[in-house]
Amino acid sequence: MSFLHQNNKEIGYIYSSEEGFYSYGGIKLNCIIKIIVRKPGYRDYVSNFLNICICIRRFEFNVCLKQSPVFNKTIISGHLVGENNNPLEGILIYLLNYSCGNKKMVYKATNSNPYGQFVFTEIPKGKYDIFINDPNFNMYRKSIEITKTDEIIDMDIKLYKRNTETKITGQI
């Protein structure tokens, strides 16, 4: 999401909440702005110019995005949580695909955001694995086969703490 001044220069800053609400700062009163929303697989939304007058301290603006008819790749998105159902930030997630026969290769990689969210965009048909191997959690692997396009696959993944106890036995 971006906000443009009437001269089409981007202004201000945006904060996104876990619930999908956005808060924007940096708009001066008595200015004219345009709101642009872009999301992979959806048509761009571009508002008309809006006049932010001196009497408005807060305004609400709702946007409903429509799926793009030219969207021909799959999106894989999801949430990572720990055993206590709290979101896990900064976890590296790999999307592996089967190339060169049955050999698995890294196709894409991403990190979870502060809310545990992750997304892989523009995924063509094929066989894939979601793979997570963080030193603090047990390894996670799930196979996915994408047989059609224009779909969004949503995954909820719970990771469990890795047992880090080391027991050494032997005689001296």
Domain extent for 24: 2-52
Over 60: is that where the pLDDT of 56 sits? no
Rounded to whole angstroms, the Cα distance separating 56 from 58 reads 6
79 with 45, same domain: the answer is no
Rounded to whole angstroms, the Cα distance separating 74 from 23 reads 29
Rounded to whole angstroms, the Cα distance separating 120 from 123 reads 7
154 with 79, same domain: the answer is yes
Rounded to whole angstroms, the Cα distance separating 157 from 116 reads 10
- Among 17-21, 28-32, 41-45, 168-172, the range scoring the smallest mean pLDDT is 17-21
- Indicate the pTM of the whole model: 0.55
Strands 31-37 and 50-52: what pairing? antiparallel
Rounded to whole angstroms, the Cα distance separating 103 from 51 reads 57
32 with 83, same domain: the answer is no
- How many structural domains compose the chain? 2
Neighbours of 159 (CB within 10 A): 19
Over 70: is that where the pLDDT of 171 sits? yes
45 with 114, same domain: the answer is no
Q: What is the CATH number of the domain that holds 86?
A: 2.60.40.10
> Three-state SS for 24?
strand
97 with 29, same domain: the answer is no
Q: Does the residue 69 lie in any domain?
A: no
Read off the pLDDT of residues 126-170 as tens digits, 9 standing for 90 and up: 889 999 999 999 999 999 998 887 788 889 999 999 887 777 788
Read off the pLDDT of residues 67-86 as tens digits, 9 standing for 90 and up: 665 456 788 999 999 999 99
Across the chain, mean pLDDT equals 81
Assign residue 18 a region (left: φ > 0; alpha: ψ between -120 and 50; beta: otherwise). alpha
81 with 149, same domain: the answer is yes
Token pair of 115 as six digits:
């809310």
Q: Does the residue 66 lie in any domain?
A: no
Q: Does the residue 92 lie in any domain?
A: yes
> Three-state SS for 133?
coil
Burial 102-132 (b: 16+ CB within 10 A, else e): eebeebbebebbebbebbbeebeeeebbbbb
Band of pLDDT at residue 21, cut at 50, 70 and 90: low
Q: Report the share of the chain in percent with pLDDT over 70.
A: 73
Token pair of 34 as six digits:
């345009």
